[in-house]
Structures are given as C-alpha cells and as structure tokens.
Homo-oligomer: A and B are copies of this chain.
Amino acid sequence: MQNKQKFVNDPVNVVPEMLEGLVLANPDTLEWVPEFNIIHVKGGADSARVAVIQGSGSGHEPAHVMAVGKGMLDAAVPGNVFAAPSMDQCLACIRLMNGPGGVVYIVNNYQGDRMNWDMAQEMAEMEGVKVGRVLIDDDVSVQDSSYTTGRRGVAGNFFAIKAMGAASQRGASLEELVAMGEKVNANVRSMGVSLSGCRPPAKDEPIFTLADGEMEFGVGIHGEPGRARLATKPADEIMADVFALVAGDLPLKQGDRVAVMVNGLGGTPIGELYLLYRKAAMLCAESGFEIVRNYVGEYCTALEMNGFSLTLLRLDAELEELLAAPAEVPIRVF
C-alpha cells in the first residue's frame, strides 16, 4: 500500500516526475533523458573536458541530480527511491557523457551501486571507452552493513563532486580526476545520527521506527542500522560523540585545516543544524583544527528522516582552491 503522507502521485512515477520538475525549473541549464532518467548539463558532453558523473538511488536529494551544474557533476543517473540505477542506465550515462579524454564516475560504496557501475564500466571499456572510477566510503559508523561490504559512502561524496568538478573545469585528465577523487576520499570521514525513521513513497511502513527518547547512532542514509540504538541526549553531547569518532578516524591533528559539513538528513529544521554546527565549531577550536570552509544544510538526505551527519574533510592547498572555485547548482536560494 502507498504511503499517503507524501506529496506524490503514483509511487512508480516519483523519480521521473521529480526530474521533470527539475528540468522545468532549470530550462536553461539542465537536460533530461527520460529513457534512462539521466540529468545532464545543457548541451551534454564538453569535448574539451573529461566529464564527472554519478548515479545512485533516489531519495537522497539534493544528491545527486541537484548537484548537476557547471563546476559540479556533468550528469547524474538516479535509480528508484533507495534502489541503485540499473546497469543500462549507468552504461547509457557513460556513453552519453564520454569525450575524447574519457569519463569518470563517482560511486558510493553500496553493493547495488557498485555492481551496476562496475558492470557498466566493463561493458563500456569493451566498446573502447576510457572510464575512471572513484569509490567513496566515508562513513565511519560501521565496517559492514546491510547494504555494504566495508564502509558506506555518504555525504562526504559532496566534496569529491566539488573538487573533481572544479578540477575538470581546469582541464584535468581522467587520471588526475581519479587521483583527486581518491585524495578526497582518503581525507574525508562522516557519521550520522537519527531521531526518526523514514518512509519510502511505495511503502506502507517506515523503514524503522524510534520511540520517543531513542536515537539511532551511526544511521545509514537509507535508515539502515548504525552502531547502536541509544537514549537521546542534549545536542551538544551527541555532536561531541560524533565529532570524536569522525575526527579520530582520520585522525585529525592539531593545526589541520578542515572543511566542516553539518548535513541534514531531510526532516531536521535548519535551525537545529546551525545549533549543531555551533558545537562542531567549538570542538574544532578546542582541538586546534582550523575551519576553512563550512557547509550547513541538506546535501545528502534520507527522504524525510529527522537526523544529521557530520563530515570532516582534511584540506591541503589544492583542495582549498578547488572547494573555493565557482560552481553552479540548480537550487536557487535567492
């Protein structure tokens, strides 16, 4: 049975109808290929540049279809809600965005995403296309999970997109882009916490439910279990726990320059995200980590889940420059 507390029509059409809305809202900058649900920058592949593309399940918006734009992704190819894009979608996207220098895709470490992309890559390579791959696995909360072997790829993904998108604009080669993505992945860590479940449009039931006073510590971006189901506590204490695990995993050391992201998982008011950022900024100051850039808002969501994730990225001069480069996304804020 359909979830009635959603602004959708037939749940089967959620993704195409969302994409149609997106291109209707951005007629000058985006194009949509309905057959494969590909969103790409207007005009398609740029023969002077190596395109950067991504595809994963829907329900994480603005990731990744709303990260398509100049200096960000050249294309995104979403699957259904919380389902990997199929092999032929990935292959079609590779073919479409391929240029003389090849094409690079970014994939989060989820089994379904990886299998379909790897397969598409092999197929494309058999056709003579040069394909680069960047795997993101920034989530420190669990080693193996419902949908992964190894760590999950979550909001840290944004920084790979931003850095690689900027590098592509500067004419980076396929190898340079892959190296850049791998550098981001080696230096980025994330972890999430939720205070509610989430409910895909086609499902009658939430993926999980939390009683009043419970939180899922280390939740995944589909509502998969994390480290533990714990009692809720003040926001500052939650942030302190998450911060210690994320910073400790890299590990960051005094004097490191960092980018800090407090990402909303969909149902958390932006006011609470800033309240959480306040504590993260204080913890950085105490630890001697210098915040060079910060990001507070929704970057990678899990439908309407009430939760947040913290992402820390260790910077070097090159990354700082790429993060500061101009970029365009289809979300208008003023």
Copies of this polypeptide in the complex: 2
Given contacts A4-B213, A5-B306, A8-B235, are A20 and B278 in contact (CB under 8 A)? yes
* A268/B7 in contact, CB under 8 A: yes
User: Which one, B8, B61, B270, contacts A270 given CB within 8 A?
Assistant: B61
Q: Report A130-150 residues with CB < 8 Å from chain B CB.
A: none
Q: What residue in chain B is nearest A301 (Cβ atoms)?
A: B269
* A278/B17 in contact, CB under 8 A: yes
Q: Report A218-259 residues with CB < 8 Å from chain B CB.
A: 232, 234-236, 238
Distance of A19 Cα from B10 Cα, bound (Å): 41
User: Which one, B21, B296, B334, contacts A162 given CB within 8 A?
Assistant: B334
Q: Report A287-328 residues with CB < 8 Å from chain B CB.
A: 293-298, 301, 303-304, 306, 308, 327-328
Contacts of A267 in B (CB 8 A): 266-267, 304, 306
- What is the CB-to-nearest-CB distance from A169 to chain B, in angstroms, rounded to a whole number? 13
Contacts of A6 in B (CB 8 A): 195, 235, 272
Contacts of A277 in B (CB 8 A): 21, 24-25
Contacts of A331 in B (CB 8 A): 270, 296-297, 333
Q: Report A187-209 residues with CB < 8 Å from chain B CB.
A: 195-196
* A303/B269 in contact, CB under 8 A: yes
| A109 interfacial contact with B, CB 8 Å | no
| A281 interfacial contact with B, CB 8 Å | yes
Q: Report A110-130 residues with CB < 8 Å from chain B CB.
A: none
- What is the CB-to-nearest-CB distance from A67 to chain B, in angstroms, rounded to a whole number? 8
* B296/A232 in contact, CB under 8 A: no
Contacts of A58 in B (CB 8 A): 271
* B236/A9 in contact, CB under 8 A: yes
| A66 interfacial contact with B, CB 8 Å | yes
3 smallest CB-CB distances across A and B, nearest first, come from A21-B278, A21-B274, A7-B235
A sample of 19 inter-chain contacts (CB < 8 A) reads: A5-B213, A7-B195, A7-B235, A7-B275, A8-B235, A9-B234, A9-B275, A18-B271, A18-B275, A18-B278, A19-B274, A24-B277, A25-B277, A25-B281, A267-B306, A270-B298, A297-B332, A297-B333, A329-B333
